[in-house]
Amino acid sequence: MALTLALCPFIPGLATAKAAPSTSFIIEAWGGSSTKGVMAVRKAGRLRNIVTGHNEIAILNQLLQEKYGSGVRVINHGAPSAQAIELLNGRYKYAHNPPWPEVMKHSDASLILLNFATNDARHFHFHDIEQPYQVSPQRYSEVMTALIDSAREHGKAVVLQEPHPLCGRAEKWDVAPYAARLNAIARAENVPLVSQYQRIQNMPHWRGMMSPDCIHPSEKLYRLKALETFEVIERHFGAQLAALKGSP
């Protein structure tokens, strides 16, 4: 099974991470459509999806560069509808990628952002994909842990991003157990976590900040998510980022 292969132990000496130049701090963001920046818009009475330039990752890149300069760069590798296991194995929405250990082997990133759960919950709810890719919350924990471990083995720091809550019919996908598992993984692996799920649910009228499909954020909510991600990155990596300005 593909997952079994992807979870094999790292073989020392097989690969070493490429070291990014000291004058740069590259962040790679991996996730589904909310990482890519998809939002729903209503035109002529019909909904359609677009990718907004005012998405979380673009805003995060702007915020970081405004404070720390052009040496920090956030690269958006979001793939709409992608699950974490697809990234791990290089399948489906990430079929253009090799398996994750190979991606990490050749990556110049210093920091990896991982934002998966929504599509994992969706496929598990509908059972509309081959069985090995119907990812239960327990299996999701295993997959996310494998992604973290492989990134670290190749010299990358990792930050986990909780999914935002869903509304309308999409609430039935039940993202909550996946968000809870992500919290447990962050504690067990000692990985910084961007709290989005409960935090957004606690906001008054948060549903009004979702785009009309009740799945993707509006530009306003994307900005609020970006501000929270920025705060977590600054708290944990601010000293490294500040050093960029002192580099020749």
DSSP-derived letter for residue 96 is T
- What band does 242 get if pLDDT is binned at 50, 70 and 90? very high
What pLDDT does 14 receive? 33
Integer Cα distance of 28 and 43 in angstroms: 33
For the chain, the average pLDDT equals: 91
| Per-residue pLDDT at 142 exceeds 90 | yes
| Per-residue pLDDT at 11 exceeds 50 | no
| Per-residue pLDDT at 248 exceeds 60 | no
Integer Cα distance of 90 and 98 in angstroms: 5
| Per-residue pLDDT at 137 exceeds 80 | yes
**Tens digit of each residue's pLDDT (9 = 90 or more) over 168-202:** 999 999 999 999 999 999 999 999 999 999 999 99
| Per-residue pLDDT at 152 exceeds 80 | yes
Give me the amino acid identity at 83: Q
